[in-house]
Structure 1
Amino acid sequence: FRCLGLRGHHALIRKTANDELQNDVWKHMDKIVPSVIFNMEVREQDRQSTPMTPTSSQDNVGGTVTPEQIELIDRGTAIVNDNPSVLAEIVLRDLFCRAHLNNITACVQPILTHLDNHAKWIPVDFPKYIFSGIMNSIKHHNSYLIIELLLGHLEKHFDQEDTANIKTSIMNVIQDCMVFAAANTGAVKESFYFIEREIFFMLKKLGSTMFTGISRLLKFLKKSFQIQSSRNKISSVNNQDEQQFQTAVINGIGDFAEKLPDFQMMEIMQFIITSLPSLSQGYEESTQDSKAANLKLQLLLLKTVQKVAATYQTVHRRETSTQTTFPHQLFDPLLKMMSAPEPEIRLIVLEILQSLVDRRQYADKLRKIKLPKDISQLELPTETKPNRLFDIAFMKKFGRQFLSQLYQSILMDNNTKDIFHAIYCLMNLVTLEAGDKDVLVDVIHFCFEIQSTLTKMSDSN
């Protein structure tokens, strides 16, 4: 009987796709969709359909399927006749294949309500299973709307002060959807010359919406931190649930950035860096507790930048020049924070700069101070390529400013051993990446100046 009912739903969806009555049908999705989701609630071993992890398809740009493909699946799958879970999955995917932009909200909201009312967000496997099917079925240029709806739903749970583990599960679903959207946006951009002009403008809208989504995620991060801080004042018990949510947000932004082109990864880091002052507002600098809270929030946001920077290091091309890597909107704030009074901020900024400068993965060999008799033992071969001229030009233009901030950072009284190791590593990376005699001379003069200053300070004491 359940299969018969699902086939009735499926027939209704197919019939109304190009029917005059379709406007009336979308109003009743709050009754149709929950019954479909109910029939998808099966154990993992009972799911005999194809796994729907968010990956892009080589044969179909955007990784989505068409209604015709789903009809073929329906006819060619024998197990559909007696397995309501498989049939329900097909109905859901066909629904989102045929749904237009104006009807997507009517289809998604009943799913979110069902997951809330029946406490199905935990464990997260089932919500991921649902939304991976949706993202694989929906038109790629409409995928941003799914993310918007999930972000709005997450905000409602913040307002209701739900437990953090529910918010973490929703965030994990958002993370998968963001990665799917970014990956398929990239796939379409690579095929730009083979698609219509209208699709390009849709992609631009998708990109701007994604940055709006990141802005909302950063605000959620701040809210979560404020909740954690207020609870810590009441109880000494560490709130692990909020920390897990914060980690999920940071990982979500990092995994999303990993699928984007280089220039968009830079834009994300710029966006977060420029958001630091506004997101830190609300903490009056009048008490020691408020200063500590502000510092922890800034470190949390910088860890998000560090996650993106580490991703950039692993996926970006070696040919990328430092002029491309360091637009002034990113470079200037990082330089200023190199001389911040808090050692924790200085350390994480130095580590971010290491990730951005290190294009040949030398940092692992340079993080610990070593003085080998033969420098070749470190296996750090320098390369001479035309693109290094950009690096040299960059260093000649901004090198003195960079060394000046580094000089102030070295002379800070509250430096730690880790900070000195980070400075040592960064200076070596800059010298190796530039590969220029003039830059090397400037670095040597800089070292002599540091040595002279430290000697004078030692003599005066």
Structure 2
Amino acid sequence: MVFLFSGSCFCCVALKPRYKRLVDNIFPTDPQDGLVKSNMDKLLFYALSTPEKLDRIGEYLAQRVNRDIHRHRRIGFVFLAMDALDQLLLACHAQAINLFVESYLKMVQKLLEYDNVDLQILATSSFVKFTNIEEDTPSYHRRYDFFVSRFSAMCHSDLESANDRLRIRTAGLRGIQGVVRKTVSDELQVNIWESVHMDKIVPSLLYNMHDPSSDSLEPESPKEDDHPFSVAETTFRDLVCRASFGSIKSVLKPVLVHLDLHQLWVPNDFAVKCFKIIMYSIQAKYSYLVLQMLMSHLDNHLKSDPMIKASIIDVLFQTVLIAAGGSVGPSVLEVFDTLLRHLRVSVDSKYQEAEKMAMERKFQEVIINTIGEFANNLPDYQKIDTMMFVLGKLPQKTSSEDYGTPPIDIQLQNMLLKTLLKVATKYQTVVMMNAFPPEFLIPLLKMSQVEEPALRLIVQDILHTLIDRHGNTPKLKTVCILKDLSDLTIETTSRQDIMFMKKTGNHFYHHLYENIEMETNHLDNFASLYCTMALILVEVGSNEILVDLCRLALDIQHMVCTTNHLPIMHKCAIHALLAAYLNLLALLMAIPAFSDHVNQVLACRAEEAPFLLPDFAFNRKNRSSSYPTDTTMKESWLFSQKNISESLQNNGHDTAGLDVPFSLRPFGVGESTDMTHSTSDIHSVNLEIESANGSPTVPKKVDDVTFEALKKMLNEEETVDKDEEVKKRLQIFETFRDAPFEEIVARSEAKSNHFHNKLNEILDLVSNPPETPSSATNLSSPEDSIPVFHMQIPDLYVY
């Protein structure tokens, strides 16, 4: 029914649809009175009873809100309409709610576009409530692109009013948090992890986290929940926590780009803070992805300023500290390869300015510390692999090959060895065999023969770190004559360590021997070599290798006495070193005759030759004039091989190897490869040639093989010959099981050569017999010859 009054028309209220009347009735005359509760309950009951009307209710409320927005004096009714929408959203969970949500989101979008702080905050607050609602049915077509863009823009608000600026930024951050919460849990929703969204969300969060006002808060004081930096940090943690394996890189890439664009690497306090948040929030199994992203970003800055690279490495260092031990992933060596590559580039860089060089050195130190901390999180077997990997990057040159080595190569070797030492400090040695696999030990000892004394010192420090298991290194760093062993921690050597020294001890001995005779040694080198020798004594010294340890000292003494190219300072230092070494050996082995001889030599030196003792030889204040001009050594000043051999023999040790010069025995540790005492002899071969004129031979009767005979043989007691045969077989078995491969090869070659020599002699005798008549039938008389069945077969044929 239409009524005309004064030229205007209107509809009768009774003709409006019911849902419109219910919506109109919830609004009071004065917006300050709030919604009419009774009428609001009626609207809710109607919406729940007829859910198909929800979309129309939403459209009508949107029309009212749009009308009230343009009437500036009716802003209060906008707040009431949004309150009504919120109550409808919370109360209704029908399938038709999707259509209602579309009207609702259009209304929120309209409010966000309006240039009014209160309305923007109202829309954001309503949207956050909406995101907390769990919908029964997913929406396939709903988009949140506008909200991501709008909320991100609000995070960068630069309003003049500080209060309004904080309110808008906080609202924008809460809106982003709501978008993430709403979309990340439903795969059918829009993919919020796409770069087009993350490139807006992540920089907005970081922009508010990097708020100077946050620095003014005390660490102990509670953070304000409504402050932008606090809300941004919470939202960032929630975002990282929700990231999966395929989406974590979408979050990390904008972080790195933001730090680059805003030049936040130097200083790197904020960068460290961001990655600490990431590492503490991310799932532990994805931690290695963060490390990979940082390494890749470091490669992008290969030619950047050293301070920027050092800051990135420092962030990586802090990240590694947080990373769990098992989460570094399978690409461990790839990470180390990247770090070592940057280390080499830094060493190769040529700067004339002192400031640039100082920055590069700081960058190199940061790399070394990072590698060490990274290795600290690895299991022990991977630490050994890491050390072998680092060692493989070193140019393997001996002292005879590296003359004229460029300074850059020496600097690179220095940095790589420091890196190796850093990793070694993180390794806890339990069994020497595991700490020194041949693939690692041989190149390391070869590296100890470089010409540069400083590099040799670092190699010795690496050996000290890996050999020492009881903290004895600081007590053995100084070369001195110990009175007792009270300051040292000594334990019984395990069987595994004894077998290790029997197999590979010769490598250590040759390493020490060759290092001591190098002309470029300084006092620090001699002191470091003494520490290595002393640690071998304390950690793996035992009666089984006592003869080898004494032989090492005697051979070094013989080398010093017979060598003319060493200066007097070196000779005095080496003699003093050996005095301290044999004194420690005497204290450890506690053999009275051995200890008496060592003490006698020390006492004689103290009276007649104090320059051969550590107190003088390792005195840094000595000058050239302090040393004697006469280098003649008295027998009483030297340790006697005869006396040491007798004392060891009297104590039950086999001293056969003590007489063999150490430098002539590159293979084996205790057994000689000399084949001169083989039991076979060509003259014991009896060749009987049957004569054509001889009398016919009487065939030998063969004993019958019966059951009783076999039973008797099985039950027969072992004779002395059988015991010797079993013992011999056991000895051969142990040799092939425990002896080093080089020793087995050397022994086999020697036996083979000896066999061929014997065979050639036999063939010569057969082909060229003596001219005597009797030799036609027999090469030797029956009385002097040994029957073939009494011959002892060479070891080569015995198993």
| Equivalent residue in structure 1 for 2:484, among 370, 375, 382 | 375
2:291 aligned with 1:171: no
Matched residue of 1:23: which SS? coil
What is residue 447 of structure 1 aligned with on the other side?
553
User: Aligned pair count?
Assistant: 394
Once the 2 structures are TM-superposed, how far is the Cα of residue 382 of structure 1 from its aligned partner? 1.8
What is residue 224 of structure 2 aligned with on the other side?
79
In 1, distance between residues paired with 2:421 and 2:505? 22
Once the 2 structures are TM-superposed, how far is the Cα of residue 445 of structure 1 from its aligned partner? 1.2
Once the 2 structures are TM-superposed, how far is the Cα of residue 342 of structure 1 from its aligned partner? 2.6
Once the 2 structures are TM-superposed, how far is the Cα of residue 3 of structure 1 from its aligned partner? 0.8
Matched residue of 2:481: which SS? coil
Would the alpha carbon gap of residues 135 and 347 (structure 1) be closer, same or farther in structure 2, given more than 3 Å must change? Answer: same
Would the alpha carbon gap of residues 102 and 45 (structure 1) be closer, same or farther in structure 2, given more than 3 Å must change? Answer: same
Matched residue of 2:322: which SS? helix
Residue 2 of structure 1 aligns to which amino acid in structure 2?
Answer: R
In 2, distance between residues paired with 1:286 and 1:458? 23
Identity of aligned residues (%): 36
Matched residue of 1:239: which SS? helix
Once the 2 structures are TM-superposed, how far is the Cα of residue 124 of structure 1 from its aligned partner? 1.5
What is residue 91 of structure 1 aligned with on the other side?
235
Residue 155 of structure 1 aligns to which amino acid in structure 2?
Answer: D
What is residue 23 of structure 1 aligned with on the other side?
191
| Equivalent residue in structure 1 for 2:275, among 131, 134, 152 | 131
Pair member with larger Rg: 2
2:341 aligned with 1:219: yes
Ranges in structure 2 where 5+ consecutive residues have no aligned partner: 1-167, 567-630, 632-799
Report matched runs for 1:381-400 at 5 Å: 381-384=489-492, 388-400=494-506
Would the alpha carbon gap of residues 114 and 403 (structure 1) be closer, same or farther in structure 2, given more than 3 Å must change? Answer: same
In 2, distance between residues paired with 1:7 and 1:236? 50
Matched residue of 2:309: which SS? helix
In 2, distance between residues paired with 1:128 and 1:175? 10
Residue 300 of structure 1 aligns to which amino acid in structure 2?
Answer: M
In 1, distance between residues paired with 2:235 and 2:423? 38
Once the 2 structures are TM-superposed, how far is the Cα of residue 370 of structure 1 from its aligned partner? 0.8
Name whichever of 438-447 and 392-401 sits farther off: 438-447
Deviations, residues 121-172 of structure 1 (Å, cap 9, x unaligned): 12221111100000111111111111111111111111xx322111111110
Would the alpha carbon gap of residues 454 and 12 (structure 1) be closer, same or farther in structure 2, given more than 3 Å must change? Answer: same
The 8 Å contact of residues 464 and 535 in structure 2, kept in 1 or not, is answered as yes
Residue 126 of structure 1 aligns to which amino acid in structure 2?
Answer: F
The 8 Å contact of residues 144 and 210 in structure 1, kept in 2 or not, is answered as no
2:538 aligned with 1:429: no
What is residue 39 of structure 1 aligned with on the other side?
208
Deviations, residues 297-340 of structure 1 (Å, cap 9, x unaligned): 0111010001111232xxx26xx110111122211111111222
In 2, distance between residues paired with 1:29 and 1:165? 28
Would the alpha carbon gap of residues 276 and 118 (structure 1) be closer, same or farther in structure 2, given more than 3 Å must change? Answer: same
Would the alpha carbon gap of residues 87 and 286 (structure 1) be closer, same or farther in structure 2, given more than 3 Å must change? Answer: same
In 2, distance between residues paired with 1:329 and 1:259? 23
Once the 2 structures are TM-superposed, how far is the Cα of residue 236 of structure 1 from its aligned partner? 6.4
2:312 aligned with 1:144: no
In 1, distance between residues paired with 2:495 and 2:179? 64
Would the alpha carbon gap of residues 287 and 397 (structure 1) be closer, same or farther in structure 2, given more than 3 Å must change? Answer: closer
TM-score (norm 2): 0.47
What is residue 7 of structure 1 aligned with on the other side?
174
In 2, distance between residues paired with 1:153 and 1:363? 41
What is residue 267 of structure 1 aligned with on the other side?
385
Root-mean-square deviation over aligned CA pairs: 2.5
What is residue 335 of structure 1 aligned with on the other side?
445
The 8 Å contact of residues 350 and 423 in structure 1, kept in 2 or not, is answered as yes
Ranges in structure 1 where 5+ consecutive residues have no aligned partner: 52-76, 187-202
Residue 116 of structure 1 aligns to which amino acid in structure 2?
Answer: D
In 2, distance between residues paired with 1:48 and 1:150? 30
2:249 aligned with 1:105: yes
2:433 aligned with 1:311: no
Would the alpha carbon gap of residues 432 and 340 (structure 1) be closer, same or farther in structure 2, given more than 3 Å must change? Answer: same
Residue 21 of structure 1 aligns to which amino acid in structure 2?
Answer: Q
What is residue 467 of structure 2 aligned with on the other side?
357
In 2, distance between residues paired with 1:343 and 1:238? 27
Deviations, residues 175-197 of structure 1 (Å, cap 9, x unaligned): 1112222xx234xxxxxxxxxxx
Residue 102 of structure 1 aligns to which amino acid in structure 2?
Answer: G
